[in-house]
Amino acid sequence: LLVNKANYRHFMAKEIHEQPEVVGQTLAHYVDMAGERIELPSKLPFDFNAIQRIWITACGTASYAGQVAKYWFERLARLPVEIDVASEFRYREAPLRKGDLAIFISQSGETADTLAALRYAKAQGLHTISVVNVSTSTIARESEVVLPTLAGPEIGVASTKAFTCQLMVIAAIAVAAGRERGELSKIEEIKLVHELIEVPPLIAATLAIEPQIEKLAHDIAKSRDVVYLGRGTSSPLAMEGALKLKEISYIHAEGYAAGELKHGPIALIDETVPVVVIAPYDRLFEKTVSNMQEVAARGGNVILITDAKGASEAAMGSIVTIVLPDMPATFTPMVYVIPLQLLAYHTAILMGADVDQPRNLAKSVTVE
Protein backbone atom coordinates (compact mmCIF):
# COMPACT_ATOMS: atom_id res chain seq x y z
CA LEU A 1 0.00 0.00 0.00
CA LEU A 2 1.52 3.27 -1.07
CA VAL A 3 0.46 6.38 0.77
CA ASN A 4 2.33 9.61 0.22
CA LYS A 5 2.55 12.84 2.14
CA ALA A 6 1.00 14.88 -0.66
CA ASN A 7 2.24 18.43 -0.04
CA TYR A 8 2.77 17.99 3.67
CA ARG A 9 6.08 17.77 5.49
CA HIS A 10 4.91 14.87 7.63
CA PHE A 11 2.21 12.23 7.56
CA MET A 12 0.96 13.59 10.86
CA ALA A 13 0.28 17.02 9.32
CA LYS A 14 -1.49 15.42 6.38
CA GLU A 15 -3.58 13.25 8.68
CA ILE A 16 -4.53 16.19 10.91
CA HIS A 17 -5.70 18.13 7.86
CA GLU A 18 -7.62 15.19 6.42
CA GLN A 19 -9.96 15.14 9.39
CA PRO A 20 -12.85 17.20 7.99
CA GLU A 21 -12.98 14.81 5.06
CA VAL A 22 -12.54 11.47 6.81
CA VAL A 23 -14.73 12.32 9.78
CA GLY A 24 -17.39 13.35 7.25
CA GLN A 25 -16.97 10.07 5.35
CA THR A 26 -17.28 8.13 8.56
CA LEU A 27 -20.42 10.00 9.54
CA ALA A 28 -21.96 9.43 6.10
CA HIS A 29 -21.58 5.70 6.70
CA TYR A 30 -23.68 5.91 9.87
CA VAL A 31 -26.39 8.40 8.98
CA ASP A 32 -29.48 8.15 6.87
CA MET A 33 -29.40 11.74 5.66
CA ALA A 34 -32.91 11.73 4.23
CA GLY A 35 -34.42 10.27 7.38
CA GLU A 36 -32.20 12.46 9.61
CA ARG A 37 -31.51 9.41 11.71
CA ILE A 38 -28.59 7.20 12.67
CA GLU A 39 -28.45 3.97 10.77
CA LEU A 40 -25.68 1.60 11.78
CA PRO A 41 -24.14 -0.22 8.79
CA SER A 42 -24.64 -3.64 10.43
CA LYS A 43 -27.60 -5.00 12.25
CA LEU A 44 -26.76 -5.66 15.88
CA PRO A 45 -27.49 -9.17 17.20
CA PHE A 46 -28.94 -7.81 20.46
CA ASP A 47 -31.34 -5.21 21.77
CA PHE A 48 -29.85 -2.31 23.75
CA ASN A 49 -32.72 -2.73 26.21
CA ALA A 50 -31.28 -6.11 27.18
CA ILE A 51 -27.86 -4.63 27.91
CA GLN A 52 -27.16 -3.68 31.52
CA ARG A 53 -23.61 -2.48 31.10
CA ILE A 54 -21.11 -1.76 28.35
CA TRP A 55 -17.47 -2.73 28.81
CA ILE A 56 -15.12 -0.65 26.67
CA THR A 57 -11.52 -1.71 26.21
CA ALA A 58 -8.68 -0.12 24.23
CA CYS A 59 -5.07 1.09 24.46
CA GLY A 60 -3.43 4.49 24.09
CA THR A 61 -5.31 7.15 22.18
CA ALA A 62 -8.17 4.72 21.47
CA SER A 63 -8.65 4.35 25.23
CA TYR A 64 -9.28 8.10 25.47
CA ALA A 65 -11.92 7.75 22.77
CA GLY A 66 -13.35 5.05 25.07
CA GLN A 67 -13.40 7.47 27.99
CA VAL A 68 -15.35 10.01 25.95
CA ALA A 69 -17.68 7.17 24.96
CA LYS A 70 -18.52 6.60 28.61
CA TYR A 71 -19.93 10.13 28.94
CA TRP A 72 -21.95 9.77 25.74
CA PHE A 73 -23.45 6.33 26.44
CA GLU A 74 -24.30 7.29 29.99
CA ARG A 75 -25.88 10.61 29.06
CA LEU A 76 -27.60 9.77 25.76
CA ALA A 77 -28.59 6.15 26.40
CA ARG A 78 -28.53 6.03 30.24
CA LEU A 79 -26.34 2.94 29.96
CA PRO A 80 -23.55 2.44 32.52
CA VAL A 81 -20.11 2.05 30.97
CA GLU A 82 -16.90 0.59 32.33
CA ILE A 83 -13.80 1.63 30.48
CA ASP A 84 -10.34 0.23 31.02
CA VAL A 85 -7.06 -0.12 29.20
CA ALA A 86 -6.80 -3.59 27.69
CA SER A 87 -3.70 -4.62 29.64
CA GLU A 88 -5.64 -4.17 32.89
CA PHE A 89 -9.05 -5.40 31.74
CA ARG A 90 -7.74 -8.75 30.53
CA TYR A 91 -6.34 -9.71 33.93
CA ARG A 92 -8.59 -8.03 36.47
CA GLU A 93 -11.32 -10.68 36.43
CA ALA A 94 -14.12 -8.17 36.19
CA PRO A 95 -17.57 -9.63 36.95
CA LEU A 96 -18.81 -9.75 33.36
CA ARG A 97 -22.45 -10.59 32.74
CA LYS A 98 -23.30 -12.92 29.89
CA GLY A 99 -25.28 -11.09 27.20
CA ASP A 100 -23.85 -7.66 28.06
CA LEU A 101 -21.90 -5.71 25.46
CA ALA A 102 -18.15 -5.28 25.12
CA ILE A 103 -16.75 -2.69 22.69
CA PHE A 104 -13.13 -2.75 21.52
CA ILE A 105 -11.62 0.34 19.93
CA SER A 106 -8.45 0.00 17.87
CA GLN A 107 -7.01 1.80 14.88
CA SER A 108 -4.86 -1.12 13.73
CA GLY A 109 -7.09 -3.92 14.95
CA GLU A 110 -3.91 -5.79 15.88
CA THR A 111 -2.99 -4.49 19.33
CA ALA A 112 -2.12 -7.61 21.35
CA ASP A 113 -3.72 -6.59 24.64
CA THR A 114 -6.94 -5.41 22.97
CA LEU A 115 -7.18 -8.65 21.00
CA ALA A 116 -6.64 -10.71 24.15
CA ALA A 117 -9.35 -8.69 25.90
CA LEU A 118 -11.74 -9.37 23.00
CA ARG A 119 -11.11 -13.11 23.18
CA TYR A 120 -11.62 -13.02 26.93
CA ALA A 121 -14.95 -11.18 26.69
CA LYS A 122 -16.16 -13.51 23.95
CA ALA A 123 -15.31 -16.54 26.03
CA GLN A 124 -17.42 -15.06 28.84
CA GLY A 125 -20.45 -14.85 26.54
CA LEU A 126 -20.54 -11.12 25.92
CA HIS A 127 -21.61 -9.53 22.66
CA THR A 128 -18.63 -7.92 20.98
CA ILE A 129 -18.40 -4.88 18.75
CA SER A 130 -15.11 -3.63 17.39
CA VAL A 131 -14.54 -0.08 16.23
CA VAL A 132 -11.52 -0.53 13.97
CA ASN A 133 -9.83 1.29 11.12
CA VAL A 134 -8.42 -1.79 9.39
CA SER A 135 -11.32 -3.98 8.36
CA THR A 136 -9.12 -6.97 7.52
CA SER A 137 -7.49 -6.97 10.96
CA THR A 138 -7.59 -9.76 13.51
CA ILE A 139 -9.79 -7.80 15.93
CA ALA A 140 -12.26 -7.08 13.11
CA ARG A 141 -12.31 -10.74 12.06
CA GLU A 142 -12.86 -12.06 15.54
CA SER A 143 -15.55 -9.69 16.77
CA GLU A 144 -19.27 -10.31 16.37
CA VAL A 145 -19.91 -6.92 14.75
CA VAL A 146 -17.43 -4.56 13.10
CA LEU A 147 -18.28 -0.88 13.03
CA PRO A 148 -15.53 0.62 10.91
CA THR A 149 -13.88 4.01 11.11
CA LEU A 150 -13.23 5.27 7.62
CA ALA A 151 -10.11 7.27 8.42
CA GLY A 152 -8.02 5.69 5.65
CA PRO A 153 -4.47 4.50 6.37
CA GLU A 154 -2.91 6.28 9.32
CA ILE A 155 0.88 6.32 9.01
CA GLY A 156 2.02 8.79 11.70
CA VAL A 157 2.68 6.86 14.90
CA ALA A 158 0.78 9.44 16.93
CA SER A 159 -2.88 8.83 16.22
CA THR A 160 -4.94 11.81 15.04
CA LYS A 161 -7.60 11.15 12.39
CA ALA A 162 -8.28 7.64 13.71
CA PHE A 163 -9.22 9.21 17.07
CA THR A 164 -11.76 11.68 15.67
CA CYS A 165 -13.26 8.96 13.46
CA GLN A 166 -13.50 6.63 16.48
CA LEU A 167 -15.40 9.37 18.30
CA MET A 168 -17.76 9.77 15.36
CA VAL A 169 -18.57 6.04 15.27
CA ILE A 170 -19.07 5.95 19.02
CA ALA A 171 -21.34 8.99 18.89
CA ALA A 172 -23.45 7.17 16.30
CA ILE A 173 -23.67 4.01 18.42
CA ALA A 174 -24.60 6.04 21.51
CA VAL A 175 -27.39 7.86 19.66
CA ALA A 176 -28.69 4.55 18.23
CA ALA A 177 -28.63 3.06 21.74
CA GLY A 178 -30.45 6.08 23.19
CA ARG A 179 -33.15 5.79 20.56
CA GLU A 180 -33.63 2.07 21.06
CA ARG A 181 -33.83 2.48 24.83
CA GLY A 182 -36.42 5.24 24.50
CA GLU A 183 -34.07 7.81 26.02
CA LEU A 184 -34.04 9.99 22.89
CA SER A 185 -37.16 11.20 21.16
CA LYS A 186 -37.34 11.50 17.39
CA ILE A 187 -36.86 15.28 17.74
CA GLU A 188 -33.85 14.81 19.99
CA GLU A 189 -32.29 12.36 17.56
CA ILE A 190 -32.77 14.76 14.65
CA LYS A 191 -31.14 17.53 16.67
CA LEU A 192 -28.15 15.31 17.53
CA VAL A 193 -27.80 14.14 13.93
CA HIS A 194 -27.69 17.77 12.83
CA GLU A 195 -25.04 18.48 15.44
CA LEU A 196 -22.98 15.56 14.08
CA ILE A 197 -23.34 16.84 10.51
CA GLU A 198 -21.88 20.16 11.70
CA VAL A 199 -18.75 18.51 13.10
CA PRO A 200 -16.68 18.14 9.88
CA PRO A 201 -17.10 21.83 8.88
CA LEU A 202 -16.34 22.84 12.47
CA ILE A 203 -13.11 20.82 12.33
CA ALA A 204 -12.26 22.59 9.06
CA ALA A 205 -12.91 26.00 10.64
CA THR A 206 -10.80 25.04 13.65
CA LEU A 207 -7.82 24.10 11.47
CA ALA A 208 -7.65 27.77 10.51
CA ILE A 209 -6.18 28.60 13.93
CA GLU A 210 -2.98 26.75 13.04
CA PRO A 211 -0.82 29.92 12.72
CA GLN A 212 -1.77 30.94 16.27
CA ILE A 213 -0.93 27.47 17.58
CA GLU A 214 2.37 27.49 15.73
CA LYS A 215 3.35 30.69 17.57
CA LEU A 216 2.28 29.24 20.88
CA ALA A 217 4.41 26.16 20.25
CA HIS A 218 7.51 28.35 20.73
CA ASP A 219 6.57 28.83 24.40
CA ILE A 220 5.67 25.18 24.90
CA ALA A 221 8.97 24.09 23.36
CA LYS A 222 10.83 26.00 26.12
CA SER A 223 8.98 24.20 28.89
CA ARG A 224 9.99 21.19 30.91
CA ASP A 225 6.49 20.21 32.00
CA VAL A 226 3.04 21.00 30.64
CA VAL A 227 -0.27 20.33 32.38
CA TYR A 228 -3.57 19.81 30.55
CA LEU A 229 -6.91 20.21 32.32
CA GLY A 230 -10.55 19.66 31.40
CA ARG A 231 -13.86 18.54 32.87
CA GLY A 232 -16.54 16.20 31.52
CA THR A 233 -15.73 15.01 28.02
CA SER A 234 -12.84 17.48 28.01
CA SER A 235 -11.13 15.50 30.76
CA PRO A 236 -10.13 12.56 28.51
CA LEU A 237 -9.10 15.20 25.99
CA ALA A 238 -6.70 16.64 28.55
CA MET A 239 -5.10 13.20 28.75
CA GLU A 240 -5.01 12.83 24.98
CA GLY A 241 -3.43 16.30 24.63
CA ALA A 242 -0.75 15.38 27.15
CA LEU A 243 -0.12 12.01 25.47
CA LYS A 244 0.23 13.65 22.04
CA LEU A 245 2.75 16.17 23.37
CA LYS A 246 4.90 13.70 25.27
CA GLU A 247 4.99 11.03 22.59
CA ILE A 248 6.24 13.26 19.80
CA SER A 249 8.03 16.21 21.47
CA TYR A 250 9.38 14.29 24.52
CA ILE A 251 8.28 17.13 26.80
CA HIS A 252 6.79 15.83 30.02
CA ALA A 253 3.05 16.43 30.13
CA GLU A 254 0.18 15.37 32.35
CA GLY A 255 -3.51 15.43 31.70
CA TYR A 256 -5.89 15.75 34.63
CA ALA A 257 -9.56 16.12 35.33
CA ALA A 258 -9.62 19.82 36.27
CA GLY A 259 -11.23 19.14 39.66
CA GLU A 260 -8.31 16.90 40.62
CA LEU A 261 -5.84 19.77 40.25
CA LYS A 262 -6.02 20.65 43.92
CA HIS A 263 -5.32 17.04 44.91
CA GLY A 264 -1.77 17.00 43.66
CA PRO A 265 -0.77 18.51 40.35
CA ILE A 266 -1.20 22.07 41.63
CA ALA A 267 2.05 21.49 43.51
CA LEU A 268 3.82 21.55 40.13
CA ILE A 269 2.50 24.96 39.13
CA ASP A 270 4.83 27.93 38.93
CA GLU A 271 5.65 30.50 36.25
CA THR A 272 7.58 27.95 34.19
CA VAL A 273 4.63 25.58 33.70
CA PRO A 274 2.13 26.15 30.89
CA VAL A 275 -1.34 24.88 31.72
CA VAL A 276 -3.61 24.11 28.78
CA VAL A 277 -7.23 24.41 29.86
CA ILE A 278 -9.84 22.83 27.59
CA ALA A 279 -13.14 24.53 28.34
CA PRO A 280 -15.92 24.93 25.82
CA TYR A 281 -18.70 27.14 27.18
CA ASP A 282 -20.81 24.30 28.57
CA ARG A 283 -22.51 23.57 31.89
CA LEU A 284 -19.12 22.87 33.53
CA PHE A 285 -17.41 25.99 32.23
CA GLU A 286 -17.61 27.99 35.46
CA LYS A 287 -16.12 25.11 37.42
CA THR A 288 -13.21 24.77 35.04
CA VAL A 289 -12.61 28.52 35.10
CA SER A 290 -12.33 28.47 38.86
CA ASN A 291 -9.63 25.78 38.56
CA MET A 292 -7.95 27.96 35.96
CA GLN A 293 -7.94 30.87 38.38
CA GLU A 294 -6.22 28.70 40.98
CA VAL A 295 -3.49 28.09 38.41
CA ALA A 296 -3.21 31.78 37.50
CA ALA A 297 -2.99 32.74 41.18
CA ARG A 298 0.14 30.59 41.44
CA GLY A 299 1.79 32.21 38.46
CA GLY A 300 1.01 29.39 36.01
CA ASN A 301 0.78 30.33 32.35
CA VAL A 302 -2.75 29.53 31.29
CA ILE A 303 -3.62 28.72 27.71
CA LEU A 304 -7.41 28.60 27.52
CA ILE A 305 -9.07 26.76 24.65
CA THR A 306 -12.68 27.87 24.49
CA ASP A 307 -15.27 29.60 22.29
CA ALA A 308 -16.22 33.29 21.96
CA LYS A 309 -18.63 33.19 24.89
CA GLY A 310 -16.08 31.42 27.09
CA ALA A 311 -13.36 33.88 26.10
CA SER A 312 -15.45 36.88 27.10
CA GLU A 313 -16.61 35.33 30.38
CA ALA A 314 -13.13 34.27 31.42
CA ALA A 315 -11.34 37.44 30.35
CA MET A 316 -8.28 37.65 32.59
CA GLY A 317 -5.15 39.67 31.94
CA SER A 318 -2.47 37.05 31.83
CA ILE A 319 -3.95 34.21 29.83
CA VAL A 320 -3.57 33.21 26.22
CA THR A 321 -6.94 32.40 24.68
CA ILE A 322 -7.52 30.16 21.70
CA VAL A 323 -11.02 30.79 20.41
CA LEU A 324 -12.75 27.95 18.55
CA PRO A 325 -16.02 28.23 16.65
CA ASP A 326 -19.26 28.09 18.65
CA MET A 327 -20.93 24.70 18.77
CA PRO A 328 -23.43 22.76 20.89
CA ALA A 329 -21.88 21.04 23.91
CA THR A 330 -22.30 17.31 23.30
CA PHE A 331 -19.82 16.59 20.54
CA THR A 332 -17.08 19.15 21.33
CA PRO A 333 -14.32 16.50 21.76
CA MET A 334 -14.09 15.95 17.99
CA VAL A 335 -13.33 19.66 17.53
CA TYR A 336 -11.41 20.55 20.70
CA VAL A 337 -8.81 17.84 20.09
CA ILE A 338 -7.66 19.65 16.93
CA PRO A 339 -5.68 22.44 18.66
CA LEU A 340 -4.12 19.79 20.94
CA GLN A 341 -2.92 17.79 17.94
CA LEU A 342 -1.57 20.93 16.24
CA LEU A 343 0.19 22.08 19.40
CA ALA A 344 1.96 18.74 19.82
CA TYR A 345 2.90 18.69 16.15
CA HIS A 346 4.39 22.19 16.02
CA THR A 347 6.18 21.77 19.32
CA ALA A 348 7.75 18.52 18.13
CA ILE A 349 9.02 20.23 14.98
CA LEU A 350 10.63 23.00 17.06
CA MET A 351 12.27 20.34 19.22
CA GLY A 352 13.71 18.75 16.08
CA ALA A 353 11.98 15.47 16.86
CA ASP A 354 11.05 12.81 14.32
CA VAL A 355 7.33 13.54 14.26
CA ASP A 356 6.14 10.52 12.30
CA GLN A 357 8.49 8.00 13.91
CA PRO A 358 9.02 8.96 17.56
CA ARG A 359 11.71 7.08 19.44
CA ASN A 360 10.74 3.89 21.27
CA LEU A 361 7.20 3.83 19.87
CA ALA A 362 5.51 1.53 17.38
CA LYS A 363 2.40 2.21 15.34
CA SER A 364 0.95 -1.12 16.23
CA VAL A 365 1.92 -3.01 19.36
CA THR A 366 1.48 -6.69 18.60
CA VAL A 367 3.32 -8.00 21.64
CA GLU A 368 2.03 -7.91 25.18
- Coil vs helix vs strand at 82: strand
Q: Binding marks (x or -) toward ligand G6P, 44..63, rule CB under 6 A? A: ---------------xxxx-
Q: Binding marks (x or -) toward ligand G6P, 12..51, rule CB under 6 A? A: ----------------------------------------
Q: Minimal CB distance to ligand G6P: which residue?
A: 60
Verify whether residue 363 is a known catalytic residue.
yes
Is there binding between residue 67 and ligand G6P (CB under 6 A)? no
In sequence order, what are the beta bridge partners of 324?
307
Contacts of 229 (CB under 8 A, 6+ apart): 238, 255, 256, 257, 258, 261, 275, 276, 277, 278, 288, 291, 292, 295
Interface residue with ligand G6P among 57, 128, 159, 223 (CB under 6 A) is: 159
Count of other CB atoms within 10 angstroms of residue 267:
10
Is there binding between residue 364 and ligand G6P (CB under 6 A)? yes
Distance CA 31, CA 150 (A): 14
Is there binding between residue 114 and ligand G6P (CB under 6 A)? yes
Distance CA 253, CA 245 (A): 7
| Residue 54 Cα distances to 4, 50, 88, 135, 146, angstroms | 38, 11, 16, 22, 16
Least distance in Å: CB of 350 to ligand G6P? 21
The DSSP H or E segment spanning 62 is: helix 60-77
Is there binding between residue 207 and ligand G6P (CB under 6 A)? no
* Interface stretch with ligand G6P, choices 1-9, 153-161, 271-279, 297-305 (CB under 6 A): 153-161
Distance CA 19, CA 5 (A): 15
Binding residues for ligand G6P, rule CB under 6 A, total 16
Is there binding between residue 108 and ligand G6P (CB under 6 A)? yes
- The set of catalytic residues is 363
Residues at the interface with ligand G6P (CB under 6 A): 59-62, 106-108, 111, 114, 157-159, 361, 363-365
